[in-house]
Structure 1
């Protein structure tokens, strides 16, 4: 018989104690714990895909070759209802606890689960979606003992949580279900009540040379007009980064700015459907989209972090999440490619983005990148009406003199005179603008015919490390012409749909882009892009987590302040592909032929450990029997690389005085051969903390 389950009352009791004693939340700093029993739990079996094990007194977790069979994987599911945790809870940890019915050396991972399921109806065929990235992994279970897995990464506050267990090695792991009295899975939440100490903020020391005041007519400055901004981080725990980041308001005081280019076709969710069945799932599936991308193995290789189906105004809610993610990385705003569409609603959400920015933080600004007709001499009326939608909105980015920068992509498809005329017409409508063209390619030579029409220069840039010096040259040339410079920065560019990719040297291109932009005196950096999952993206994603964005946060603080942040917390990140670039693929299925580098740096098959160290230590990259070490003699960020070894799963380690300080195992095994090429850099690691999603 099923035993009724309900959460223990530790959370509610503590809140009542604070109210009864009159203690302020800040005073109640002793850790508080609550243990919540599962509201549903069940296991599912690939070997019996239609069987529901809702009455079983145990849960079985096993690899695909379970008991020497084929296609016999077993997984466990469990859900919990968290309530009573105060909004100002700090240092929240969430631990999944399961009791083993037998001793085994099984390696089991916990995943976040999305989609609906129940213990009374769910089987293998109707299973929900398991998150690609494991929240926690452990090896070994002892009969009668409780095994713990830290799933704190999934914490987002009060609400429903679902987790799934999978096995990657070892025999069957047998765990007690809630049908065995007192031994079912539970979720332990520990936290302290009170507000955290304010993060120290550096005194702004803006450089006069960084202010873009070079255009002879409008003298624009990138310093935005004053607007209300929060003084504390609203989106993430203070321990989410290896360093202490100033508040959003403090970072915005610096002249230099960092914006992320937002591409409307790829929002957080396209259709507000179950992530297992939504448009991104279709794009990742070679058979999805009616087989349109079968020849290349799917439209793309990654997707944004999945979120549950929302009610209400889900588009604005999604924008708000992405804005919080960007603010947590120190980003000043989005560059939004805007035009309205008669057929595609993804392009018609500009008003909701502006509303979301205003709701989350009016200091987060939107720079307009208007799309436009490319036919020679085309009418400008629709472009003007699209731009005027933002007229007077407090979240629209403007320079200190009140002018609105327009940053169109590939503007050279029209003449400078065409853009001059468009700006004149906008001025007649009461909207004074300046042009900051994002040329398809500009490294400081040519385009002189544009100089009298622009306030600054920019370009779409490159995606390989050796060419980033062009950003330095472009910045110096822009200064010579009396204009400011917006430098591009990107992680990589991989386009399976049209058979191309460029070699990014793991995180090297991204890091060098910031460095070369700074050397050239860039005034703004444009991150290309925030969310174009078909080419180049930096937003938190399934295959990379927050790793790229944390690297952006570190370099953004340096770009703005001129000083490398002091590392306060050790953190290990990794970047590597899931196979060598020359690994054999199934040409009968990937019928387009090889996805290849058209030009630029040669392919580099390496695993990178990007370590942030608060003091010296020894770094290790282990791939099977291949062990590479590096002695680091000073605190700071260090890149350590090793040749990629197929047939292994990399493990990264930090030691001091022979003691292991931190270990991170990659979520991406390196395959010897593949069906379809996957040439993106997978990534992971970093602090275990609460994130905006």
Structure 2
């Protein structure tokens, strides 16, 4: 199947969007992966993130352990870099309210702490099972210490748009909402904005906190257990989800999911060699960098914040693809749930200064499209030939201006582990 979704330059240039007042972008950061971190690791991540327009990290903290010890360096570096941080407590683990209160108290006055309407923003992953009384007491305890909290959780069981009103009635203590769900829900169809718009509407109707929308490039996990082996249809997600945020939802905050959750394959940060990925995740993470997805993010972050399409000055094509067709039999690992949904193809997103023809070639298959200035996307199917590598070119006025190859063969054999994590490259 050949795909082309072109963002027409003329129409996009005329599009002037009214973005939300905050228009901030955060990246979800797994503090669990900071065990080996020194201040220099935080500095590297923060500098890299800030360089593409990310305003801060949402710090996913799972337990009151070494993760809390790493916060001192995180806040110290963030203060120096004028980078913002807020806590996203991972409530799928067990938390005592007193421990959460203590963490917030420690850093509430840091210049790096992100605030909304002069109140400390606190988010979560999950946490609805704790009940509203838990969250009300959490806020009240901090208020007694002079710390006002804007509670903006990701209560993950609230995904159905029809449940939006019940969220508000069940949780009078929450001030905003973070829609965690940025992938299709086990279906062979692109994600819609129905959930975003429903929960945004109820937040804006009677609450003072932000609506946070998640944007993610991928979702694949294969850790060898029945409940942790899946893939969601993500082929063009990194393109259309950004457009949904900019053109349709216009959230107060975009949260990129994630900076460094390697096990779920949606990392856009570097693969830190000092991070212990466990036993299974290295089989599909090592050798599969996502660095150049940040180029895509930089373009759309600028658009989201400024309300108009950015001017591209340096032509580039960012492309991604899996190393094996989905029906390939591998010797270890599990065939993930929804394996039949991803398309066997090389996907390429062009960022161009002016119109050009973009060509994609692999084996005996090829596809070209007339790409406009700005962003557009196309794909070429995997070939029938084994062990093939993609070639990409930009042609303008009959002359190839830029071209290059991928660094991973698409093979139909010799698969040691079921891997639906893409390799990401660039022609620039």
**TM-score, length-scaled by structure 2:** 0.82
Shift of residue 468, structure 1, vs aligned partner: 3.5
Change (3 A) 1:439 1:372: closer
CA deviation profile, 1:39-98 (whole Å, cap 9, x unmatched): xxxxxxxxxxxxxxxxxxxxxxxxxxxxxxxxxxxxxxxxxxxxxxxxxxxxxxxxxxxx
SS at match of 1:537: coil
CA deviation profile, 1:71-127 (whole Å, cap 9, x unmatched): xxxxxxxxxxxxxxxxxxxxxxxxxxxxxxxxxxxxxxxxxxxxxxxxxxxxxxxxx
Q: Does 1:394 align with 2:111?
A: yes
Q: Does 1:325 align with 2:45?
A: no
2:357 alignment partner, one of 618, 641, 657: 618
Shift of residue 525, structure 1, vs aligned partner: 0.8
Change (3 A) 1:500 1:481: farther
In structure 2, how many angstroms separate the alpha carbons of the residues matched to 1:502 and 1:450? 32
Q: What is the match of residue 606 of structure 1?
A: 345
Change (3 A) 1:466 1:625: closer
Shift of residue 403, structure 1, vs aligned partner: 0.7
In structure 1, how many angstroms separate the alpha carbons of the residues matched to 2:140 and 2:211? 23
Q: What is the match of residue 4 of structure 2?
A: none
Shift of residue 387, structure 1, vs aligned partner: 1.9
Q: Does 1:365 align with 2:84?
A: yes
CA deviation profile, 1:331-352 (whole Å, cap 9, x unmatched): 010000236644xx34520111
Change (3 A) 1:432 1:476: closer
Where does structure 1 lack aligned partners over 5 or more consecutive residues?
A: 1-204, 212-254, 272-313, 688-693
In structure 1, how many angstroms separate the alpha carbons of the residues matched to 2:96 and 2:41? 34
Change (3 A) 1:500 1:393: same
Q: Does 1:431 align with 2:147?
A: yes
Q: What is the match of residue 560 of structure 1?
A: 305
Q: What is the match of residue 416 of structure 2?
A: 675
Q: Does 1:641 align with 2:379?
A: yes
SS at match of 1:683: strand
Q: Does 1:530 align with 2:268?
A: no
SS at match of 2:85: strand
Change (3 A) 1:206 1:454: farther
2:63–2:93 Cα contact (<8 Å) kept: no
Q: What is the match of residue 191 of structure 2?
A: 467
Change (3 A) 1:449 1:585: same
Change (3 A) 1:440 1:396: same
SS at match of 1:393: coil
SS at match of 1:597: coil
Whose relative contact order is higher, 1 or 2, with alpha carbons under 8 Å and at least 6 apart? 2
In structure 1, how many angstroms separate the alpha carbons of the residues matched to 2:92 and 2:393? 53
Change (3 A) 1:430 1:319: same
Question: Could you say which structure has the higher helix fraction?
Answer: 2
Change (3 A) 1:445 1:257: farther
1:653–1:660 Cα contact (<8 Å) kept: yes
In structure 1, how many angstroms separate the alpha carbons of the residues matched to 2:105 and 2:204? 31
Shift of residue 545, structure 1, vs aligned partner: 4.5
2:296–2:318 Cα contact (<8 Å) kept: no
In structure 1, how many angstroms separate the alpha carbons of the residues matched to 2:403 and 2:96? 59
In structure 1, how many angstroms separate the alpha carbons of the residues matched to 2:350 and 2:92? 46
1:487–1:525 Cα contact (<8 Å) kept: yes
SS at match of 2:293: helix
Q: Does 1:476 align with 2:225?
A: no
In structure 2, how many angstroms separate the alpha carbons of the residues matched to 1:616 and 1:408? 43
Which structure 2 residues correspond to residues 14-53 of structure 1 after superposition, within 5 A? none
1:471–1:516 Cα contact (<8 Å) kept: no
Change (3 A) 1:668 1:418: same
Shift of residue 451, structure 1, vs aligned partner: 5.2
Q: What is the match of residue 652 of structure 1?
A: 392
Change (3 A) 1:514 1:476: farther
1:608–1:641 Cα contact (<8 Å) kept: yes
Change (3 A) 1:320 1:450: farther
CA deviation profile, 1:460-504 (whole Å, cap 9, x unmatched): 213236224232443334334445310011111111104523334
In structure 1, how many angstroms separate the alpha carbons of the residues matched to 2:422 and 2:318? 12
In structure 2, how many angstroms separate the alpha carbons of the residues matched to 1:266 and 1:354? 16
Shift of residue 584, structure 1, vs aligned partner: 1.7
Shift of residue 370, structure 1, vs aligned partner: 2.8
**TM-score, length-scaled by structure 1:** 0.52
Where does structure 2 lack aligned partners over 5 or more consecutive residues?
A: 1-15, 272-286
2:17–2:307 Cα contact (<8 Å) kept: no
In structure 1, how many angstroms separate the alpha carbons of the residues matched to 2:268 and 2:181? 15
1:338–1:350 Cα contact (<8 Å) kept: no
Shift of residue 631, structure 1, vs aligned partner: 2.4
Shift of residue 317, structure 1, vs aligned partner: 0.7
Change (3 A) 1:450 1:512: farther
Change (3 A) 1:379 1:317: closer
Q: What is the match of residue 354 of structure 1?
A: 75
Q: What is the match of residue 516 of structure 1?
A: 244
Change (3 A) 1:392 1:206: farther
Q: What is the match of residue 321 of structure 2?
A: 576
2:30 alignment partner, one of 244, 263, 274: 263
